[in-house]
Amino acid sequence: MSFRSKAGAALLAFGFIAMTTVMATAHAADKFDFSPEQKGRLHTGKDAEAVNAIPPSFKFVKEGVLTIAIAPFAPPISTYATDAKTVVGFDPDFALLIAESLGLKLELQPVAWPDWPLGLASGKYDAVISNVGVTEQRKEKFDFSTYRLGLHGFYVRTDSAIKSIKEPKDVAGLKLTTGAGTNQERILLEWDRQNVAAGLKPVAIQYYDDDVTRWLAVTTKRVDANFNPNAPQAYESAKNGQLRLVGTVNAGWPLKSDVAIATRKGSGLATALSVAANNLILSGTYGKALARWSLAEEALPKSEINPPGLPKF
């Protein structure tokens, strides 16, 4: 093929991708509510058990208010609404349910994700609800009340012949993409090491700089699957209909590293938050809130206080 023919083909491909992106965005507007009004947001009543679990000595940043730090970094977990200032997504929905369970008003404080530890330790807010995974290192300084599974997901093209990826042998011989220097890369490399030791074909890993390029690599068949945090991929899958989930792995594999509400170490608030979360789980409200943002597969059976987390490596 001549250079001119290749250039023409590239332009046609770019035009198709651009058109597909516009159509997908329009579809997302129908499926997900990014309006500041959030009319479909779930609510709950005051939970006496959770309120009674608040330590008498605990002082909220503002009386009658639960102040929560949140980093609006990516849908469907948290992002800015169409007014570019209201924070929407599952994490803010869950924060509201927790605040209402405690009989408090909710005040969200948007922060840069790396800034939450210092802000929480210095008492700028009562808690952090922002996709924070439980790790043994973080547990030295903070208490945690889990509220969502920490999952990495394998996503393939909707027409892929791959039906399931659950364990190391399922990735043998596949071309995969993941994030360089990430926990999911650590998992994938260990799976590959086990496969090679067992005489199976190695994994071919391709690295790309951002999620959009990784998804494009899957849909254009440059790779067989994308292995990265589940939530952003679940959103993209629901948005464009071109990706399909075929398996999940806990972020702490072979152990666990679930997502949790972070509070100051020894403040005692973690117990009340976990009680509130468990009652939301039992009532079904929690499951409905997850489903609203296409995150039903990340449901926890129960909230735990300071469970084992990602170990120090």
| CATH class entry, domain 48-149+257-298 | alpha beta
Average pLDDT of 246-267? 94
The amino acid occupying position 299 is A
Please give the helix or strand (H or E) that residue 179 lies within, else none.
none
Q: Which residue has the higher pLDDT, 16 or 119?
A: 119
pTM, entire model: 0.84
Q: What is the mean pLDDT of residues 58-72?
A: 97
- Quick one: pLDDT band at residue 96, thresholds 50, 70, 90? very high
Closest CA to 41 of 84, 81, 83: 81
pLDDT at res. 4: 36
Query: Which position has the higher pLDDT, 29 or 165?
Result: 165
CATH topology of domain 151-250: D-Maltodextrin-Binding Protein; domain 2 (3.40.190)
pLDDT above 80: residue 268: yes
Q: Please report, for the chain, the start and end positions of each structural domain, with discontinuous segments joined by +.
A: 48-149+257-298, 151-250
Same fold, 48-149+257-298 and 151-250: yes
Mean pLDDT of the chain: 90
What pLDDT, on a 0 to 100 scale, did the predictor assign at position 209? 86
pLDDT above 60 (res 159): yes
Q: Encode pLDDT of 200-209 as tens digits.
A: 999 999 999 8
Return all residues near 156 (Cβ < 8 A) that are at least 6 apart.
Answer: 162, 218, 224, 225, 243, 244, 246
The CA distance from 212 to 183, in Å, is: 19
- pLDDT above 50 for 296: yes
- Look at 115-119, 252-256, 267-271, 275-279 and tell me which has the smallest mean pLDDT: 252-256
- Contact in structure between 177 and 207 (CB atoms under 8 Å): yes
The C-alpha atoms of residue 218 and residue 238 are separated, in whole angstroms, by 15
DSSP code, position 74: B
